[in-house]
Amino acid sequence: MSGDSSEGITIDGSVLEGGGQILRNATALSCILGCSVIIENIRAGRSSPGLRPQHLSGLEICRDLSGGKLNGAEVGSQKVKLVPGKLKSGSFLADTKTAGSVCLLTQSALPLMLFADNPTEVRLRGGTNAAMAPPIDYFIWVLKPVLERFGITFECILNRRGFYPRGGGEVVVKANPIAFIKPVELTEFGQIRRIFGLSFVAGTLPIKMAHLMADSARSVIRRFDKNLQMNIEVKKETDRTAFGNGSGIILVAETSTGCVLAGTGLGSRDVKAEDVGFQAGEELVRNLEQGGCVDDFMQDQLIVMMALAKGRSKIRTGSITLHTQTAIHIAERMTAAKFTIEKISEKQSIIECEGIGFENK
């Protein structure tokens, strides 16, 4: 672990998971806390190390939202320095110009938007349904209601879906400033109340593929519990609502205590539609069987909020992921927040954090 200096906090971008998440969390916390950050060894262990276009877009939107300065920000760079200014409100644009995930861009941008002085709108362009990233549907249907438990409200408008390789999707996120982030306690799973979802195709792909994904997902869930109420919409996107060919499925489970968990699948030319639906169903069932109050992909996305919250947060999860361990490492590196993880069974853990109580002044 690198040390601090008069130039700011230095973060080793190759530590633990060693991917773009370190960049996103470190820059978001840097801008909110008003402290400079140097990130080195960026994605050092990846096949294409350094910044990719989507990472550069994430850095640039943080710079713009904070009125800051960036050094070393170019594709391929393995070291950047961000010197944030004062958080700004208004309208902003982040365009990956590729199929880079717009959902990952929001992980950097949204926390900054919450601590601006007035409402903020960010228009994000790129891939809405991309590999190695949550789909936009997850952001709207799963992350949004969980963040509302922290007192965070925002609007997310899906204007157009975009897919690999051309991107072309567009999402608009609007947020009002908040005074502080509330702590949460998510420890009771409750009973599964309903499962809903969406199976879609776009472009020249036939609607039959969406039906095959949905049918396969239903069969997996019925084997888990044949009595569960299910409503999976099957949809063919239009040329206005999607750019290019693409397909995907999301399945969402709601419980009686307000827990929201999901399973997702992204279509590709190398994978049968039935297998995409099966993957989504298996992912959802795996999350439900663990009994955590958030799914595996939600864990790490809540760490920044827990660190900044005004009070103690406590969340029951499934097995702790490497992404979560990495997010905790960065949060503790950059804030005075302290996390504890208690393993309560082979499949469950409790994450607790005494947040720093950051206030919007």
* Distances, alpha carbon 154 to alpha carbons 80, 108, 208, 229, in Å: 30, 15, 35, 29
d(CA 92, CA 204): 33
- The residues that bridge with 236 in the sheet, in sequence order, are 201
From the list 55, 211, 323, 329, the catalytic residue is 323
With 0-12 CB in 10 A as exposed, 13-18 as middle and 19+ as buried, what is 167?
A: buried
Residue type, 298: M
Question: In 3-state terms, what secondary structure has residue 247?
Answer: strand
Query: CA 357, 359, 20, 243: dihedral to nearest 10 degrees?
Result: 130
Q: Is 323 a catalytic residue?
A: yes
- Distance of alpha carbon 94 from alpha carbon 121, whole angstroms: 11
What six digits make up the tokens of 177?
């400033």
Residue 3, token pair as written in the block: 């040390």
Tokens of 218: 């239903």
Instruction: Let me know: does 336 contact 351? Beta carbons within 8 Å.
Output: no
Q: Quote the CA–CA distance of 348 and 327 in Å, as a whole number.
A: 18
The H-or-E segment that residue 61 falls in is helix 53-66
Contact call for residues 172 and 124 (beta carbons, < 8 A): yes
Which residues are known catalytic residues? 323
